[in-house]
Amino acid sequence: MLQKSKTENSKAVITIRDVNKSFGDYHVLRGADLDLYEGENLVVLGRSGTGKSVLIKIISGLLKQDSGMVNVLGKDVANLSPKELLELRLRIGFSFQNSALYDSMTVRENLEFPLVRNRKNLGKAEIAQAVETVLDAVGLSQTINQMPSELSGGQRKRIGIARTLILRPEIMLYDEPTAGLDPITCIEINNLINEVQERFKTSSIIITHDLTCAKAVGNRIAMLLDGQFQRVGTFDEVFDTADERVTPFYDYNFIQE
Amino acid sequence: MKKIVTRISQRFTNMFLELYRVHLFILKFFKEAFTAPFEGREVLRQCYQVGYRSLALISLTGFITGIVFTKQSRPSLAEFGATSWLPSLVGIAMLRTLAPLLTALISAGKVGSSIGAELGSMKVTEQIDAMEVSATNPFSYLVVTRVLATSITIPILTFYTAFVALLGAFVNVSTNESTSFSAFVQSFLESITFLDITASTIKAIVFGFTIGMVGCYQGFHSSKGTEGVGKAANSAVVVGMFLVFIEEVIATQITFLFRT
Ligand SMILES: Nc1ncnc2c1ncn2[C@@H]1O[C@H](COP(=O)(O)OP(=O)(O)OP(=O)(O)O)[C@@H](O)[C@H]1O
Ligand SMILES: [Mg+2]
């Protein structure tokens, strides 16, 4: 069983304060506050379209908030120079909702890409070694010469995670790692997320709809409701409520009629 | 009536917004093209792609155009007993206009569309975002390399087209007159000038730049969904060809200023 509360005395690696973001008339994030503490797995729950992906895109600097502050590893993301932003991004791993593997490259080339581009001093052997290590960590060594189009959805997810791990990030952002996968593959991915936490000492934000996943990997849960994190705490704390915006999540996942 | 007016004004606003975005895109190209890191290897790889994709079609079209153009011009010249002018007539027409235009149009169809589709699908499936978060600048890795590749390769292909078309012309000439190949080439070379070559080279570079730029712009700004990818590929071809024709007209006017 996971250690459930390694929080308050650890230091925060991501601090989000009063963040707002709109697209046209649609006010997605409305004063969101959130902390991610060093070494923890924080699960973000929320309905489709509530801005979960938008939030982690803001964290990684792909989108800019309209107002509010986002501090990652001591850096104010919105006000970095392009060079500083590049350096920060090397320390953050981003696993995309649909894997986003480069489909003109083999699995090996996909994994090598971040290394070849960012670690110019590495030799061929070292790169091959690093590729093997992460591929082994996600349990897919046999796929090394395949094209992404030949992989199953679950395999693509894992290769996507491997590709972000290869730069040894301090923070991992997982966007719906188990969406659309069968229960057994989900369990494998959950185990992988926990393994990554232990082995690579990462702090992670995991976005999901899947409470089984949330329960299995989350040290804490944060629920995005109406553009704010209105319920934050351990799994039991978050779901100990009669709030009609929260209970359906629990009922759908755990109560079979 | 009022509806129509608002519709039209909206259209114009959108057009100017688009023009502004295109303008920014081009500026960004020049900024990124001259700042490190330089993607030499990727540029070479893209050059190979551009050449490889259009070579077969260009060879065929160039050769046939050479034969047909010569055959069609023959009767008019024969009326004046001037068929010996065929090599220079064909040569000038090819080098000045037909070769650059043919090459650009074929490349717009083959290369422009595939750049649009490739970048469009990378955009839609978040591969471009993925590249960005893994600390690679997608603009310099994807756009700058492709635009440089088309700007370099299309001029080369243009001279290749002219060469193949001349071979085609020679096939027609040699079946009608007993001209040797060296005499044919000789009379072609005598008729062209340094200005012809320079003007065609510059024109071909501009065409190449346009085709690469349009393909990349459409791909980078394609809307979400698979439909967006198709649209990006399609407008890469349509807009690319349209701009090439406009540039051809302008370029012809400018070179005529130099000739007189
Ligand atoms: N680049 C963008 N431009 C315009 N609107 C956007 C953009 N990105 C997101 N949105 C809008 O913001 C809202 C939140 O999107 P987001 O992708 O964050 O949802 P989500 O919480 O991740 O949902 P899901 O669980 O379905 O992935 C959506 O309504 C979407 O239409
Ligand atoms: Mg999402």
Chain A residues whose beta carbon lies within 8 Å of the beta carbon of residue B135 = 86-87, 89-90, 114, 117-118, 167
pLDDT of residue A8: 55
Q: What percentage of chain A exceeds 70 in pLDDT?
A: 95
Higher pLDDT, B260 or A24: A24
* A23 SS3 class: strand
pLDDT of residue A245: 79
**What is the average pLDDT across A63-86?**
92
Segments in chain B below pLDDT 50: none
pLDDT of residue A256: 54
pLDDT of residue B218: 94
- Digit-coded pLDDT (tens) for B93-125: 999 999 999 999 999 999 999 999 999 999 999
Task: Please indicate whether, in this complex, the C-beta atoms of A62 and B118 are within 8 angstroms of each other.
Answer: no
Q: What is the rounded average pLDDT for all residues in chain A?
A: 88
Position A1 pLDDT exceeds 50: no
Does the domain at A10-91+171-257 match CATH 3.40.50.300? Answer given as yes
pLDDT of residue A9: 63
Helix segments in A1-61, DSSP class H: 52-59
Closest CA to B213 of B243, B252, B250, B245: B243
DSSP single-letter state for residue B254: H
CA of B225 to the centre of ligand 1 (A): 14
Residues of B with CB under 8 A from a CB of A: 118, 121-122, 125-127, 129-137
The distance of B121 to chain A (nearest Cα, Å) reads 10
Sequence spans of domains, chain A: 10-91+171-257, 101-168
pLDDT of residue A76: 93
The distance of A160 to chain B (nearest Cα, Å) reads 10
The distance of A177 to chain B (nearest Cα, Å) reads 15
C-beta atoms surrounding A123 within 10 Å: 8
Q: Helix and strand tally (H, E) in chain A?
A: 9, 10
Distance between the two ends of chain B, CA-based, in angstroms?
52
pLDDT of residue A3: 45
pTM of the model: 0.87
Residue B6 CB burial class (10 angstroms; 0-12, 13-18, ≥19): exposed
Position A20 pLDDT exceeds 50: yes
CA of B135 to the centre of ligand 1 (A): 23
Q: What percentage of chain A exceeds 90 in pLDDT?
A: 56
pLDDT of residue B179: 82
pLDDT of residue A251: 74
**What is the average pLDDT across A12-28?**
92
pLDDT of residue A4: 45
Task: Please indicate whether, in this complex, the C-beta atoms of B134 and A113 are within 8 angstroms of each other.
Answer: yes
**What is the average pLDDT across A173-178?**
92
CA of A257 to the centre of ligand 2 (A): 29
